Amino acid sequence: MFKFQKYLSLVKFSHTIFAMPFALVGYFLAIKSEGNSFNLKILLLVILCMVLARSAAMAFNRMVDVRYDRKNPRTMNREIPSGQISLFAASVFVFLTSVMFIVTTYFINSLVFYLSPVALIVIFVYSFTKRFTSLCHFVLGLGLALAPIGAYLSVTAHFAILPVLFSFVVLLWVGGFDILYALQDDDFDKSLNLHSIPVKLGRKTSLALSAFVHFIAIAIAFYAGCYGNFSNYYWIGLTIFFIMLIYEHLIVKPNDLTKVNMAFAIVNGIAGVVFGGVTIISLFF
């Protein structure tokens, strides 16, 4: 049980909350807009895919970043650099969760199965991006943005505009708050020639860019609401989402990063759950 908890900590299982609500949005959007019947089996497979893919990606990220994590005071006590989980054990974990992810997609439909290696490539590539590009935050966002469109494809086996719009919302939302999260390591990253927007632009400009990115995410979510002709519940959820993002930017300041973790985990977690949940409600009421 103790070792199991270490693996949950390794992959930050609680952070699954960021993409899961939007995966559920994609699933129920397919049910409602395409007139499909509710299928509990597919829903459970979609949730399992989300957990497996994210776990594989997070563990892989911890593996390839271990030499940096050992040097960073903020991360040196993580499971791999501290020796609580060996690199070999982490490698086995990544392999197993990746294989299980692909196998799970096989039981959904052929399109999702054929696209599953592409999804893994996208989420694994992110781990290397901060070595060569400041746009690494948006590659992370792209990985999580696969959730709504992937869930939609699991039900319908074809693409549509509305789930793609929600994917763009996730991409920009995640990219924006990952810029805030990276503020904690700007000096460390700079010392090791690692790339991030805070390293490239400085704290003040990075905060402004993050706010702008989040504004664009809200604008796309607004357009998605109009395009999908959602009920009033959607607009209530979007308003709360918008307010939470404003609050996030108010509590993180260039000269005071003490509330970055609160903004990153708590504020965004609540924002995503509320917006995703209310969006699903608006599909049926």
How many CB atoms lie under 10 A from the CB of residue 24? 21
pLDDT band at 34 (very low <50, low <70, confident <90, very high): confident
For the cut 60, the answer to whether the pLDDT of residue 4 exceeds it is yes
Taking alpha carbons only, the member of 158, 155, 198, 193 closest to residue 178 is: 198
Q: How far apart are CA 271 and CA 244, in angstroms?
A: 6
Lowest-confidence pick of 1-5, 47-51, 216-220: 1-5
Question: Which domains does the chain possess?
Answer: 2-284 (1.10.357.140)
Q: What is the pLDDT of residue 23?
A: 95
Asked if residue 1 has pLDDT above 70, the reply is no
With beta carbons less than 8 A apart as the criterion, state whether 222 and 212 touch. no
Q: What is the mean pLDDT of residues 267-279?
A: 95
> How many C-beta atoms lie closer than 10 Å to residue 66's C-beta?
16
> Per mean pLDDT, which range of 15-29, 52-66, 117-131 is the poorest?
15-29
Radius of gyration of the chain (CA): 19
Which tens digits make up the pLDDT trace of 119-129?
Answer: 999 999 999 99
Listing DSSP states for 193-260 in one string gives: T---HHHHH-HHHHHHHHHHHHHHHHHHHHHHHHHHT--HHHHHHHHHHHHHHHHHHHH-BTTB-TTH
pLDDT for the residue numbered 115 = 97
Q: What is the pLDDT of residue 198?
A: 98
What is the overall mean pLDDT for the chain? Answer: 94
The pTM of this model reads 0.95
pLDDT (0 to 100) of residue 143: 95
pLDDT at 199: 97
**Ramachandran assignment for 194, one of left (phi > 0), alpha (psi -120 to 50 degrees), beta (any other):** beta
Q: Please report which confidence band the pLDDT of residue 279 belongs to, taking 50, 70 and 90 as the band edges.
A: very high
